[in-house]
Structure 1
Amino acid sequence: MPLVIADVVDNRVQMTWRVDAAPERVWQALTSPPGMAEWLGEVVSGAVAPDESFVVDHGDGHRCASTVTALVPGEALTYSWEFPDEPRSEVSWTLSPADEGTMLEVTHAGLGDLARSYRDGWTVHLTYLEASAHGVPLPSAMFWPLHATVVRLSQDR
């Protein structure tokens, strides 16, 4: 996995990931409902568009409501992240060309005590996002076993 940076700073997760796919393919995976279904969850309502709201079902009815607060097509995206029983937080993405691929930066801020667990979750989600951008989505059944491995590997960090 081309993880470059995975930091927990205060109440936020900051990650940089290098994807060997064109920025257009990464953007498509990041924002289109079919792409999002391959790495994050099923978009059950709304759309990733300026000033729009959308809801993602992460499985078993665990739904996250989001509102897009900033969007520069192909380059940057920011949206709220509202899961029941969690503090409202914000996710920001930046894409930039890197050699023949894409440098993808994500910051998830406002997580409070959940930041470390979200770092592990984003590591797995970004693995799935990369596979989606390559056109070879990973089976959803692999998510939790891979997550357990990431948690074990990051216990000392």
Structure 2
Amino acid sequence: MNEISTERLSVVVERELAFPPEKIWRALTQPHLIEEWLMKSDFKPVVDHDFKLSAEWGSVDCKVLEVEPNKTLRYTWDAHGLESVVTWRLAPTSTGTHLRMEQSGFRPDQQQAYQGATYGWPKFFANLEQVLARID
């Protein structure tokens, strides 16, 4: 009998940002800002809201799981057979905010998706920082 591995992989990106949590929260939850650093979306920070993230390569089906303004945002991220969860945590620091993103749920056989996320999220973070530097 073959043992099926239930181990799941996660991608974690953490940054110290020189912006208050409220400002970062806006960039994480306002569709016109999300589009600037991530993808086009019809996001609303409302639990159980279904939304889509769209890019040239396709789209991601998502559902909001948790909303704690300026602190925690969690949503599903389903695309190309990947069923994962993205969790954002914001913690105020003396100089701004500690921002942590974890995308969890990659199966061991989903190396391509896992590598893509490992490569992609730091780029999204760089875009996010540019947006934060620009908005009031």
Q: TM-score, structure 2 length as denominator?
A: 0.84
Q: 1 CA distance for matches of 2:12 and 2:57?
A: 27
What amino acid does structure 2 have at the position aligned with 1:73?
Answer: P
What's the counterpart of residue 73 of structure 1? 69
Kept after mapping to 1: 8 A contact 2:29/2:43 = no
Partner of 1:33: 31
The percentage of aligned residue pairs carrying the same residue is 25
1:56-135 paired onto structure 2 within 5 Å: 56-58=53-55, 60=56, 62-83=58-79, 85-112=80-107, 113=111, 114-135=113-134
SS of 2:46's equivalent in the other structure is coil
- CA-to-partner distance for each residue in 1:53-86, whole Å, 9 max, x for gaps? 111112x261111001111011001100011x23
Distance 2:115 2:54 in 1: 22
Structure 1 or 2, whichever has the larger Rg, is 2
State the Cα distance separating 1:133 from its structure 2 match: 1.4
Pair 1:50-2:71 in alignment: no
Confirm or deny: 8 A CA contact 2:30 2:43 kept in the other structure. no
Structure with the largest fraction of helix: 1
**Structure 2 residue matching 1:29: 3-state secondary structure:** helix
RMSD across aligned positions (CA):
1.8
Q: Which has the higher contact order (CA 8 A, sep 6+)?
A: 2
- What amino acid maps onto 2:62 in structure 1? S
